[in-house]
Amino acid sequence: MEEILRDFERYLEDNLPQVESFHPFFNDTLQKMLLAGGKRFRPELLLSVINAYQPLLISNAFPVALGIELLHTYSLIHDDLPAMDDAELRRGETTLHTVYDEASAILAGDALNAHAFYMISIAPLRDDIKVKLVSELSYNGGIGGMVLGQAIDCYFENKTLDLDELKFLHIHKTAKLIAASLKMGGIIAGISKDKLDKLFDFGERLGLLFQVQDDIIDVTLNEDEAGKTTGNDSSKNSFVNLLGIKKAKEYRNDLRDKLKNDSSEFDKKLSNSLQKILDRFKDS
């Protein structure tokens, strides 16, 4: 997977969103957060599934993987806005609204959101496959997932949710897009509906693990270590705020261990990739 991810990074750099105009920095706003790096976690999940089942389709899937990364990056840009988290640091770089202005950051996010679906449209895949991919990404990145979760997160700031409500929030805000990334890989690879459903379920739980870890990072790492604004969740509904740091770590470890066990239900090559990913969620 390391070589595939290096190839994807080169593909991303060669296909950065840009357009000719007399705007002095519009292209810079589109590219800044992409060039800042990031985990590329969601593209990695999609490409891991394809590598396990149909490795010859890896290069065909790069536009789709980039589409997912574009949509995720848009969500980070908007999440950092003054109306949301009002953060000054993301991926080790100063956030867009801080470098430029709020309107430019909003428009950059809008543009990346739309361009995500353009990238899927030009992927060298069958049209019926691309329709399914658009359906998954638009729903789980929109009203059926990330946007709904963000709306709940913003509305209930300073209001404590119970554990089931907290899980609902973060399954939608974070986990649905992670689950969709796995499922979209399965759609490209042409695996059965039963396997697609299992991938999505696994992805929702993996996304929840990802969020718990993120909540722990917010209180245990400084900004330089995390590469983003930390200590910013004091009024948010986070697993650490609800459970405390000790129980949040126990919850994370339990999630991780169950996922490690459940990853064995997939084909060996995919199971091995998922195990390596889960090993990153170490005790801390």
Residue 221's pLDDT band (cuts 50, 70, 90) = confident
Distance CA 41, CA 214 (A): 13
8 Å CB contact between 16 and 30: yes
pLDDT in tens, 160-210: 999 999 999 999 999 999 999 999 999 999 999 999 999 999 999 999 999
Distance CA 48, CA 97 (A): 34
| pLDDT over threshold 60, residue 89 | yes
| pLDDT over threshold 60, residue 41 | yes
Geometric angle at alpha carbon 63, from 273 and 94, rounded to 5°: 85
pLDDT in tens, 234-277: 678 999 999 999 999 999 999 999 999 999 999 999 999 999 99
Residue 93 bridge partners (DSSP): 90
Query: If you write DSSP's letter for every residue of 204-267 in order, what string do you get?
Result: HHHHHHHHHHHHHHHHHS-HHHHTS--S--TTS--HHHHH-HHHHHHHHHHHHHHHHHHGGGS-
CATH architecture, domain defined by 2-278: Orthogonal Bundle (1.10)
Helix, strand or coil, per DSSP, at residue 141 = coil
Residue 119 has which token pair? 């990238």
- Domain range summary for the chain, segments of one domain joined by +: 2-278
**Dihedrals φ, ψ of 24, to 5°?**
-70, -25
